[in-house]
Structure 1
């Protein structure tokens, strides 16, 4: 890492360790946890608190720090080469374990066939996980009635507790389609629960856009305006909390905050409503076992308002996010960066970003009495 990169890394790590006053207020009222605000807290002398020393703990427990393999998909699927960079499941998973990751979220189960002369099996992947002290915490796969039993079989072979998808339950703007999706997901969630699995869906920004559920109808009988209800938040209420769970992609949550601010109400008036990813989770925190800890730099010159960067190199306050939502032992954070692969010019980039992101994730700290 050159001097400029090292300087930027140090600056971003300092920023990521700071939580806002708003977060402090929420947490302070929730049970005696305080925010790291400076070196004095690290000493833990208890001055001004009256009940002893402060102790520092990881905000995200080491056992709950993971990665979705989509971030390093270029090396999982790479053919053997002479770059010196790990390739295939066996080598890449071993490297991720060396970096400190304890959990793996899958984004497919295939590697380059030339490694074994055939495709690897789920049983062989499970052995690689076990050999490296890794745990599978979920997967992005296709969720539908036709293949769900097969996908649950694979999940259980790999030792997962969660099974999910990277796609929204529906891409529709209409409640009728979200109702139909909820009926399916409630049923599949029951099937998953019977096998000790939690069914979850992952969001992109559109999932937190507004429903069209009010006002005049179009030629097809569909509403053309909105009550201000967001699509996935409607789905929260239509699905059974015992059987349907969620994985918030934090980056896409903040993109939704940037992109989906306005709607036209039933009377045709433009309304503004800011989406808050933290509050959305905090109000139902036990429905979010998994997160994509994906960072972004604000850039209003691009449609999403953010550019993806390694965790800790961007503007998203993960300290505030994870500290405010609480339940540290329940939540699992999977680092993701869609843009991590460096291509032929830089085949080691995705694993280098994985190293930096793990280090920054591990440095998130919470102080307790």
Structure 2
């Protein structure tokens, strides 16, 4: 059982809230999303588990917000956040209004939209916003007493913003060290700089109250599908989790489609068919594949009491589209279709987090392209069966799904788009029934 100890907040920076005097925001109670009365069955995503990763709204922390614009005497960024029929009518953009910027205003907006959990994608923001710029935790790669103090003070400021709007930090895509205590690490040890930076990041996460801390990457490069580096990755993440769980925090890698390609774990074989089309090719020597996927091997070689992962459900479906054929240990081309829901169901608590990213099926032939385009969660164009996925994977209420949409920001042409898509997606998550 993992201890969930937390740093208490007696050291909270007293001025954290005062640095951001309450601004009159252009959104109000009408922005709060209520479940559709006609939805049948219970919520598949409990209210306390409705999350988002801030990569989706990555344009918001970096711009000068409403309060900072007023303090500086400059015009705020203007955009559309939806009219009276939004989000039921996503084309009802409403009037031009000042747009939030920085962490405090973004977190307020997300809370009013109906989100409860926040997965950070880094901690930086525009320095003009309440709380200021994120300090460098390790100048030149070295943690100093001054850098640690500034970094933890900033953590207390962010925690103050989260508490103000009754939000929970569920994770972060951030620093994972390259070295670790283990025979496959350089010299079998963790470098002192990696250790001190890792401990500081864990302390930061603990101040925010995170039960998980992660990365946006695979446990090792999926460009190398040989079994050996994936076995070493298991050693590394086991060792790092033994350190992180001393803080009550579990580490998680993220994944995209390549992580669900086939592990190359067999003998060298000669193949004569194209993997995707089955067309004849010149005899080619490759390494045989048993049918195990890369991420499954990672789970098989890591401690189930320590190591969890975050599945990106969109990219798992892209993997189903792309990685459909393998070469067996005799060199035969074999169809072997990936099933994301069944993969989670057989080890459901190893998949503690999800990126709840929705997709519209394209006309790409099987094995060609991604097969899906990203859309807001619950968009009518969706072709990913989230109802079946969330109701069939077991341990209802345990998982932490975080809405993500890589293409949400609208740039200068539509700077309010990522926020409108967030409202649509919070609505879609709250209305998912099963």
Determine helix, strand or coil for the equivalent of 1:289: strand
Alignment TM-score, normalising by the size of structure 2: 0.69
Unpaired segments ≥5 residues, structure 2? 1-34, 66-75, 79-97, 135-153, 180-193, 271-284
Of 251-260 and 297-306, deviating more is 297-306
Which of 219, 224, 247 is 1:169 aligned to?
219
1:233 equivalent in alignment to 2:292: no
Q: Whose helix fraction is larger, Structure 1's or Structure 2's?
A: 1
Match of 2:398 in 1: 330
Which of 197, 204, 212 is residue 154 of structure 1 equivalent to? 204
Does the 8 A contact of 1:213 with 1:223 survive in 2?
no
Looking at structure 2, the residues matched to 211 and 105 of structure 1 have their Cα atoms a distance apart, in angstroms, of: 30
Q: Which residue of 2 aligns with 1:305?
A: 371
Shift of 1:217: 7.8
Give CA deviations for 1:312-358 in whole Å, capped at 9, x if unaligned: 11111111100001222211111000110000000000000000000
> How far apart in 2 are the matches of 1:345 and 1:57?
39
Matched residues in 2 for 1:283 and 1:253: separation? 16
CA-CA distance at 1:278 after TM superposition: 0.2
Is the radius of gyration larger for structure 1 or structure 2? 2
SS at match of 2:387: helix
| Aligned equivalents of 2:77, 2:398: Cα separation in 1 | 41
Range 150-159 or range 97-106, more displaced: 150-159
Contact 1:165 1:202 in 2 (8 A): yes
Tell me the equivalent position of 1:143: 176
In the TM superposition, what is the alpha-carbon distance from 1:267 to its structure 2 partner?
1.6
* Shift in alpha-carbon separation, 1:117–1:239, aligned structure 2, 3 A: closer
Match of 2:91 in 1: none
| Offset at residue 111 of structure 1 (A) | 0.1
Partner of 1:348: 416
Map 1:1-369 onto structure 2 (within 5 A): 56-80=41-65, 81-83=76-78, 84-116=98-130, 118-120=132-134, 121-144=154-177, 145=179, 146=194, 147-171=197-221, 172-216=224-268, 224-301=287-364, 303-313=369-379, 314-366=382-434
Higher RCO (Cα < 8 Å, 6 or more apart): 1
Q: How far apart in 2 are the matches of 1:365 and 1:228?
A: 34
2:231–2:297 CA contact under 8 A, matched in 1? no
In the aligned structure 2, how far is the partner of 1:289 from the partner of 1:174? 26
Structure 1 residue runs of 4 or more that deviate by more than 2 Å after TM superposition: 79-82, 114-118, 222-225
**Counterpart Cα distance in 1 of 2:393 and 2:163:** 31
The aligned counterpart of 2:28 is none
Distance in 1 of aligned mates of 2:130 and 2:162: 17
C-alpha distance in structure 2 between counterparts of 1:153 and 1:223, whole Å = 45
8 Å CA contact 2:269, 2:331 repeated in 1:
no
Deviation (angstroms), 1:225: 2.5
Partner of 2:297, secondary structure, is helix
TM-score between both structures, scaled by the size of structure 1: 0.81
**Per the alignment, do residues 185 and 117 of structure 1 end up closer, same or farther by CA in structure 2, a change over 3 Å counting?**
closer
Check whether the contact 1:75–1:92 (CA below 8 A) recurs between aligned residues.
yes
Runs of at least 5 residues in structure 1 that lack an aligned partner in the other structure: 1-12, 18-38, 43-55
Q: Distance in 1 between matches of 2:363 and 2:306?
A: 38
Superposed CA deviations along residues 110-131 of structure 1, whole A, max 9, x for unmatched, are 0011325941422111100000
Following the alignment from structure 1 to structure 2, what is the Cα–Cα distance between the partners of residues 232 and 127?
Answer: 36
The 1:332/1:117 distance shift into structure 2, 3 A limit, reads closer
1:166-219 Cα distance to aligned partner (Å, 9 max, x none): 10011121111011111010011111122111111111000000112223289x
Q: Tell me if structure 2 keeps the 8 A contact 1:209–1:231.
A: yes
CA contact (8 A) 2:253 2:309 kept: yes
Distance 2:329 2:396 in 1: 41
